[in-house]
Structure 1
Amino acid sequence: MRLTCWGTAARAMSAWAARAWLRAAIRRISAFHENATVTDEDVTHTGTAAIGTWLSTAAGEFTFTTERLGAERLDDTHWVVTNRLEGDFPGGRADLRYRFALRSGLIEDLTIAP
Structure 2
Amino acid sequence: MTQNPTPIDPADLPEPITRYLTGRAAKDAAAAAQGFAPDAFVTDDGHTYEGAEAINLWLRRTDTEYTYTVTLAGAEQDAHNRYTVHQHLEGNFPGGKADLRCRFVLAHGLISELSIAP
Write the letter of the residue equivalent to 2:115. Answer: T
C-alpha separation between the residues in 1 aligned to 2:40 and 2:23?
Answer: 13
In the alignment, is the contact (CA less than 8 A) between 2:42 and 2:115 conserved in 1?
Answer: yes
Are the equivalent residues in 2 in contact too, given 1:16–1:71 (CA < 8 A)?
A: no
Could you tell me which residue of structure 1 aligns to residue 13 of structure 2? 18
Cα separation, 2, equivalents of 1:99 and 1:89: 21
| Distance in 1 between residues matched to 2:35 and 2:72, nearest whole Å | 21
Equivalent position to 2:99, from 95, 99, 106? 95
- Cα distance in 1 for partners of 2:58, 2:34 equals 14
- Structure 1 residues 42 and 64, CA, compared in 2 at 3 Å: closer, same or farther? same
Normalised to the residue count of structure 1, the TM-score between the two structures is: 0.81
**1:78 and 1:69 mapped to 2: Cα distance?**
17
State the one-letter code of the partner of 1:14.
D
Aligned to 2:50: 46
- List gaps (5 residues or longer) in structure 1: 1-12
Alpha-carbon distance in 2 for matches of 1:61, 1:35 = 25
Structure 1 runs of 4+ off > 6 angstroms? Answer: none
Q: Could you say which residue in structure 1 is the equivalent of 2:3?
A: none
**Length, aligned pairs only:** 102
Q: Which runs of 5+ in 2 are unaligned?
A: 1-7
1:58 and 2:62 are equivalent in the alignment? yes
RMSD of aligned C-alpha atoms?
2.0
TM-score by length of 2: 0.78
Report if aligned partners of 1:70, 1:81 keep a CA contact under 8 Å in 2. Answer: yes
> Alignment partner of 1:74: what SS?
strand
